[in-house]
Amino acid sequence: MEMIKLIVLPTILALFVLFLHFITRIIKLRKLNLPKGTLGLPIIGETLEFFKANLEGKQIRFIQERMKKYDSRVFKTSMFGENTAMFCGTAGNKYLFSNENKNVQVWWPSSVRKLLRLSLVNKVGDEAKITRRLLMNFLNQETLRNYLPKMDRIVQHHINTHWKGKEQVIVYPIIQLYTFELVCCLFLSMEDPIQLSYLSSYFEEFLKGVISFSINFPGTGFHKAMKAADEIKKEIKLIMKKRKVDLEEKKASPTQDLLSHLLVTPDTSGRFMSEVEILDNMLLLLFAGHDTSRSVISLIMKYLGNLPEVYEQASKEQLDISQGKESGELLQWEDIQKMKHSWNVASEVLRLSPPTDGAYRNAMKDLTYADYNIPIDWKFHWNTHTTHMDPTLLTNPEIFDASRFEGEGPVPYSYVPFGGGPRMCLGQEFARLDVLVFMHNIVKHFKWDLINPDENFKYDPMLQPEKGLPIHLRPSHYTS
């Protein structure tokens, strides 16, 4: 009996304390002028509705309905078990981007935190700055321009292998072969087709569980993603072990790829990344570097297929570049600088159909925004659609118009496919080169017709075509 009391009484006391904390929290929240909105169901909140809108390709409707019903500047909701303030418009973007490490810090759902552990995506403050600087030493314009000829060779090999001689291809899966081969080559010097195929299959499982409820139970998407991440890192670890030996024996170059860069380069304090940090950051960059590009290039193929006049304008620019080169001559940095209109086209695709929908932040203290109180530890979500499709910022925002990016371009904080502020996507320059090199080579060989012109795209978690985007190929004026 005494033993039972020793167990039961502390349990009852602990539950009572938790209950009091819960009640106190509710009373405190009721006294605050919180943003208008609804927190939805207990724990689940509106997460399922948000996911449903993503899978139907109607996320913008989810947001616009609440902006109209509650407040166009900010509304409250609940996602992944967290009270969340959805910031809308340029003012919201500016506040979150300019207050990093002052009032807000990066935050991601627990699935991301557990899968990408010590990578940059989960680091905050000075740690984030140091890691970002180290990674940017490889991903900056000056370094990447040295890899441009190799990128061109990879694209040409991909097109010769998977596109030439075909009357029909399914774009989304075939583009994945290219983008994955590219990042594995530039980041790991991995080129073996069998090894690439093996690793790629695990990334497909990983992707499905990145943004999910982190229920680590057999059969769930998150459990499969955890197992996939372990297998991917096991493979990278084997490559890393051999690379260390090769670097010591001068059989590998310190500048040959991202892995060598991370192994031989210390941060500003002289500290080298630990093995775990390198594995987690390689996992992050391999995932983000190939899957985002797969989405963007697939979307470009969709818009160029649907809009012949846009295709003609982009192809003319690329034809002029190609005609000025010797047969077999690879792209150089000067050629990329001439692709201004092609990048305007890609930018307009990114505005209309951003591959990722936004990101999250955490309130570091009690805040006031737009006359509302937002308590410490509430989460924020900024979303690309609130400004990309805002008719007060853009004339006919639903219409494709690459000229929006001429001159001074969009209003500050309105065009945010790569985010903004200190957390802006560090792969932005890599993505630009990736997209432009592919555009140059694909229009040099083909025109295409969409088999399903109105095919729906959905976020899962990247924007992707429901049926893979099948197309009919025909020779372009380059090869006709």
pLDDT digits (tens, 9 = 90+) for 432-449: 999 999 999 999 999 999
Give the number of other CB atoms < 10 A from CB of residue 47.
21
Mean pLDDT of the chain: 92
Here the tokens at position 405 are 């990016």
- Please, are residues 345 and 314 in contact by the beta-carbon 8 Å criterion? yes
- Please, are residues 296 and 348 in contact by the beta-carbon 8 Å criterion? no
170-180 average pLDDT score? 96
pLDDT digits (tens, 9 = 90+) for 375-395: 999 999 999 999 999 999 999
109 to 213, 412, 428: CA distances (angstroms): 8, 28, 23
Q: Is the pLDDT of residue 25 over 60?
A: no
**Length of the chain, in residues:** 480
What pLDDT does residue 461 have?
A: 84
- 19 vs 425, residue with greater confidence: 425
Q: What is the DSSP letter of 71?
A: -
Tell whether omega for the bond before 461 is within 30 degrees of 0, i.e. cis: yes
Q: To the nearest whole percent, how much of the chain has pLDDT over 90?
A: 83
Here the tokens at position 196 are 């690439």
272 to 125, 134, 249, 265, 269: CA distances (angstroms): 18, 10, 20, 7, 9
Closest CA to 457 of 309, 347, 303, 311: 303
Query: What's the pTM?
Result: 0.91
Q: Using 50, 70 and 90 to split pLDDT, how confident is the model at 20?
A: low
Q: Using 50, 70 and 90 to split pLDDT, how confident is the model at 457?
A: very high
What pLDDT does residue 480 have?
A: 42
Q: Is the pLDDT of residue 199 over 70?
A: yes
What pLDDT does residue 7 have?
A: 58
Determine how β-strand 372-374 pairs with β-strand 470-475.
unpaired
pLDDT digits (tens, 9 = 90+) for 233-246: 999 999 999 999 99
Cα distance from N-terminal residue to C-terminal residue, the chain: 91
CA–CA dist 184, 283 (Å, integer): 11
